[in-house]
Amino acid sequence: MFDVHVHAAPDVLGRIGFDAEICASYAAAGFSGFVLKAHHESTVGRASLLARSSGLDVVGGLALNRGAGGVNPAAVLSTLASGGRVIWFPTADAHTQETAQLPRLNDLDPRLDRATLAVPPVLIPDKRASSDLSLVLDLIAEHDAVLCTGHLSGPECRWLFEQAQQRGITRFLLTHPSYTVPGIPVADIAELADRGAFVEITAYQLWHQPGMTAARLAEVARAAGDKLILASDAGQPESPQPPAALQELVSVLAREGLDPGRLAAAADDIPRKLVLS
């Protein structure tokens, strides 16, 4: 199996294990690799160290939150030029996160202002922001990297998808679109998947999303079709160990009647191909 979304310590929030412990748990469970995600810093160096020491395909990237300078082409270039494969648009500092009162970096210290990040059509950027955004998208295209939509809203995800298509970006992943943020309706998820967007469902949603049920996740999985990607998004101290979390998600969806072969591919070959060259 291959987990395209997991969190580990060190982080600004408590995590279930440090990088090496999480990596060892995937190796013990027979996974071929995983993508290490952090909201506030690049994971490229950490992933490279883990890959070299474990032999697994451990992939790093960068989330475009305020710690990275927001939608910042300099940070994106340094991430991709040093081997990072995944760029997440704003997550913890997205405007949706503030509205939904989900955790943000400035919760740690009230001296930090509560500014948020957005892209069109929510934000009409000024000239500088617009050229930064355009360069970020060009860099993702030129490096054939993975664009993940983060926690931006449905209309922003759709705008990004159209921008990605214009640039020939094929590795486009809607980050847990059925989660509270962004909360994209199933019909829209189906339409974007039909047009080529990959659709992530996470084990995290099973345990931590108010109102989410296995049946609703199964509906999203059906809407995603062959663009479905299953990930753990685990690493929280109160979630199962990440490999077990992803295995549990597969089992839950199988009990909802989804084809086991399709689910297996969605937690293995499909995410591997999405992130690895």
Q: Which residues bind Zn ion (CB under 5 A)?
A: 233
Furthest C-alpha separation in the chain? 51
Q: In what order do the strands lie in the sheet with 172-174?
A: 61-63, 86-88, 146-148, 172-174, 198-202, 228-231
Minimum CB distance to Zn ion, residue 180 (Å): 13
Quick one: 141 or 181, whose CB is closer to Zn ion? 181
Looking at beta carbons, which residue is closest to Zn ion? 233
Minimum CB distance to Zn ion, residue 90 (Å): 13
Quick one: 38 or 145, whose CB is closer to Zn ion? 38
Minimum CB distance to Zn ion, residue 194 (Å): 25
Q: Are 78 and 105 in contact, with CB atoms under 8 Å apart?
A: no
Q: Are 42 and 61 in contact, with CB atoms under 8 Å apart?
A: yes
Find where tokens 């999303």 sit: 209
Quick one: 103 or 185, whose CB is closer to Zn ion? 103
Minimum CB distance to Zn ion, residue 269 (Å): 22
Amino acid, single-letter form, for residue 200: E
Return d(Cα 95, Cα 114) in angstroms, integer.
Answer: 10
Minimum CB distance to Zn ion, residue 97 (Å): 12
Which DSSP helix (H) or strand (E) runs through 24?
A: helix 19-28
Quick one: 132 or 233, whose CB is closer to Zn ion? 233
Quick one: 68 or 190, whose CB is closer to Zn ion? 68
Strands 86-88 and 61-63: what pairing?
A: parallel
* Angle between helices 127-142 and 154-167 in degrees, nearest 10: 60
